[in-house]
């Protein structure tokens, strides 16, 4: 599980081009949106694409996906 978390954090930083953030500084419980990393709705769309491409996770409507991604 630790390897999965590390890979996902690295992919988030790379996919969203978060130049000032290192994957190892992202806490496992840290919110991604608003507080925490401060991601926005465009970032959410990019995260959905990342989850679909790399993990085969399909999220339907964005309205339904945002609360899930915020956890």
pLDDT in tens, 34-58: 888 899 889 988 998 898 999 898 7
Region 21-32: mean pLDDT is 93
Identify the pLDDT of residue 36.
Answer: 84
State the CATH number of the domain containing residue 9.
1.10.1200
Give me the domain span that covers residue 58: 2-69
Q: Which residues of 39-51 are buried (b: 16+ CB within 10 A; e: fewer)?
A: beeebbeebbebb
Count: domains in the chain: 1
pLDDT value of residue 26: 95
Euclidean distance between CA atoms 22 and 49, whole angstroms: 21
- φ, ψ dihedrals at 19, nearest 5°: -65, -30
């Amino acid at each position: 599980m630790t390897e999965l978390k590390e890979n996902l954090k690295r992919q988030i930083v790379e996919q969203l081009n978060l130049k000032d953030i290192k994957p190892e500084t992202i806490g496992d419980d840290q919110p991604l949106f608003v507080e925490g990393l401060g991601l926005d709705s465009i970032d959410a769309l990019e995260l959905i694409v990342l989850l679909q491409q790399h993990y085969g996770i399909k999220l339907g409507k964005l309205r339904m996906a945002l609360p899930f991604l915020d956890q």
